[in-house]
Structure 1
Amino acid sequence: MKKNVALIFGGKSAEHEVSLRSAKNVADALDKNLFSPILIGISKEGSWYRFPSDAVFSQATKIVDKALPPQAEPVALISLEGKPVLYSLQNQSKTNVDAAFPILHGTMGEDGTIQGLFKMVQLAFVGCGVWSSAAGMDKEIMKRLFTEAQIPNARYMLLTPYKNTSYQDVVNKLGSPFFIKPANAGSSVGVHKIKTVEDFEKGLKDSFQFDTKVLAEEFIEGREIECSVMGHNREPQASLPGEIIPQHEFYSYEAKYIDDNGALLKIPAEMTSEALQKLQTLAKKTYQVMGCDGLTRVDFFLRKNGDFYVNEINTIPGFTKISMYPKMWEASGLGYRDLITKLIHLGLEKHSEEQKLKTSYLD
């Protein structure tokens, strides 16, 4: 019997538009013999809408309340008699939902917020849980966990609007150049490479538009390597790695999504078998330390001396046509459609395990 899978995209995030592109690819690849898709777009204002078909992706590059695509139906995700249900605010109809596939990059989707809602309504979902999603999204918390677990990562300083940290303060501790980035953002939104006082003042102003915490991080010269990880936390699997060769100053939002020639992608990345084993072992360790489940992309810097540094993890990586996560699995022998199927099954398995846990002391 087919499972009803809610593909949830859009959201109140700077990565709203990228989310729609990822969702289109997932919808196209979904095995319709196994799953019936329910397309749910969250507007930039935070409203939930159900769309009757994947035509929404050709009708809109973003979901906004004042200019909705045709046949947008306002809905709410609720629990009814202990079961997750999609409730129509338009005609009061109810649709059972077996699993959710959140394709919500950035805040209000990748940071544990929507995962908390799924938990509340007892809905199985693809990807990491509340805690690992939140910790992976907040780069300061992520780096604290890395350091405690002795996972090599770049030195950093925390910048806030309430503490006056000067450009020279940062240079004295981290050297020059250095990067600044919002603690809670993705896809290089608000990220700047800083070389001068003027860069610092301008970049900091932009970064603070996206979060109240900003990280200053040392510049590590090295190759940019990524690795896809998948599976339950107790037994993760790591893909062959890929390498990003930016054609811009660094792998910025423009290089990722706007400029078709913004970066060269080499999959699999060239490295010795010893380096590959080291990378995959570190990727799986990072996945487990962060409490990840389902899927994560782990991003590295590889220095000339062979040392790997973990840059960050991404708990809802991109699924666009040029996204590294599915491409690295494809190079490892797992095609796009089979990847989507496996991720959904992992989510269903995790939910089934959790449902066996007691929630009442007296029963």
Structure 2
Amino acid sequence: MSENTQSPRKPRVAVVFGGRSSEHAISVVTAGAVLKAIDRTKYDVLPIGITREGRWALTADAPERMAIAERALPDVAQLAESETGGVVLPVDPASREVVHLAPSESGSLPRALGEVDVVFPMLHGPYGEDGTLQGLLELSGIPYVGAGVLASAVGQDKEYMKRVFVSYGLPVGPYEVIRPREWDRNPAEARKKIVEFAADHGWPLFVKPARGGSSVGITKVDDLSGLDDAVEEARRYDPKIIVEALVRGREIECGVLEFEDGPRASVPAEIPPVTDHDFYDFEAKYIDSASGLVPAPIGAEATAEVQRLAVAAYDAVSCEGLVRADFFLTEDGDFVINEINTMPGFTPISMYPRMWQESGVSYPELVDRLIQAALTRSTGLR
């Protein structure tokens, strides 16, 4: 009887990126870095891009084409294979077979792309980081990296994120929410609500889309004259907006990563004040690459406290895998949590990987740890 010398199949990782949100390009950049870092001797990789219109497409495995080049942002449409068919995940949990559909006019049959063992969803913002994709993967029975449906949804909605934090005793800054029907039906009353908030907490205010990220759609408003334009800018990205008071303090970030014995916090980082921008906005983060200080020079006691709060925020929202928690360190020495990101920026120069690099976990090790954690975690209620 001959010995079977066939080597076992490597786990197959589908890296899904792009998407319909305003953070499409940043998702592409993030996915390019992850594709470059995945150990190809250990995993097979299937890159799947989601266009701005929501079509799933098989894309080139070309990390070098997925970076910001000369201030130009990448796009899934530039990476999709020339044929215009789509990619379909299975809807039967008994099968993990991914199928590539040929264009309808071609008359060709669907082409099986093989089974997928885990999805690495490198999407930011709505239709990807907000629980929608996670729900699809739960229905499909495919394990995935990162937070589940509920944690993703809460982590994307700044209002409910803050409500959860408050219920767990975590300190948050003053805020006010304007729901879609409030502004649509009676903008004068909604405006009055914001003005009264400003009377209590002072100008400037930050007007933000309630369910967005990467500082897209955010405006710093110094007085009443700029309020309406700021609201309309935020509503371009989300009909629900959140208005936050200025919290005077240093911007401190801390990463959380799940280990075998539970979540641990990284060394924190500090985002110094930016000199060429009003605040740490999209261009400062991604175009001009404003850099943070890692580790943050805040002393041992403050470091231990922000690490404790970061893990507490991770647990409060029932996160899994990873989180970046963002704080303000006030002049009184107190921490105020601003938000968490359940799928933070993930390029090698992004703050989350840099904090873990400084904590002893290299970028390739970080990617591998997240994939391994997802492979050992089943879908469904847990």
What's the counterpart of residue 139 of structure 2? 120
TM-score, length-scaled by structure 2: 0.87
| Aligned-residue offset at 1:210 | 0.9
Q: Secondary structure at the match of 2:76?
A: coil
Equivalent in 89, 112, 136 of residue 77 of structure 1: 89
| Aligned-residue offset at 1:72 | 6.3
Q: Residues 272 and 56 of structure 1: is their aligned pair in 2 closer, same or farther, counting only changes over 3 Å?
A: closer
TM-score, length-scaled by structure 1: 0.92
Q: Secondary structure at the match of 1:280?
A: helix
Higher strand residue share: 1
Q: Is the 8 A contact 1:233 1:293 kept in 2?
A: no
CA distance in 2, matches of 1:170, 1:282: 27
Unaligned runs of 5+ in 2: 1-8, 68-72, 103-108, 183-188
- Higher Rg: 2
Determine what percentage of the aligned residue pairs are the same residue.
39
CA distance in 2, matches of 1:58, 1:214: 31
Please tell me whether residue 145 in structure 1 is matched to residue 164 in structure 2.
yes
What's the counterpart of residue 301 of structure 1? 328
What's the counterpart of residue 35 of structure 2? 27
What's the counterpart of residue 285 of structure 2? 256
For the aligned residues, what is the CA RMSD? Answer: 2.1
Please tell me whether residue 62 in structure 1 is matched to residue 89 in structure 2.
no
- Shifted more, 159-168 versus 235-244: the winner is 159-168
**1:173-212 correspondence runs (5 A):** 173-212=200-239
CA distance in 1, matches of 2:23, 2:255: 20
Q: Secondary structure at the match of 2:96?
A: strand
Q: Is the 8 A contact 1:51 1:72 kept in 2?
A: no
Q: Secondary structure at the match of 1:189?
A: coil
CA distance in 2, matches of 1:245, 1:184: 25
Q: Residues 233 and 159 of structure 1: is their aligned pair in 2 closer, same or farther, counting only changes over 3 Å?
A: farther
- Shifted more, 165-174 versus 11-20: the winner is 165-174
Q: Is the 8 A contact 2:175 2:243 kept in 1?
A: yes
| Aligned-residue offset at 1:306 | 1.0
Unaligned runs of 5+ in 1: 358-363
Tell me the amino acid that sits aligned with residue 322 of structure 1. I
CA distance in 1, matches of 2:306, 2:122: 27
What's the counterpart of residue 284 of structure 1? 311
Please tell me whether residue 165 in structure 1 is matched to residue 173 in structure 2.
no
Please tell me whether residue 89 in structure 1 is matched to residue 83 in structure 2.
no
CA distance in 2, matches of 1:304, 1:297: 23
For each residue in 1:245-281, what CA deviation from the matched residue of structure 2 results, as whole angstroms up to 9, or x when unmatched? 1312211111111223xx2310010121111111111
| Aligned-residue offset at 1:122 | 0.4
Q: Residues 138 and 68 of structure 1: is their aligned pair in 2 closer, same or farther, counting only changes over 3 Å?
A: same
What's the counterpart of residue 101 of structure 1? 120
CA distance in 1, matches of 2:180, 2:272: 34
| Aligned-residue offset at 1:73 | 5.2
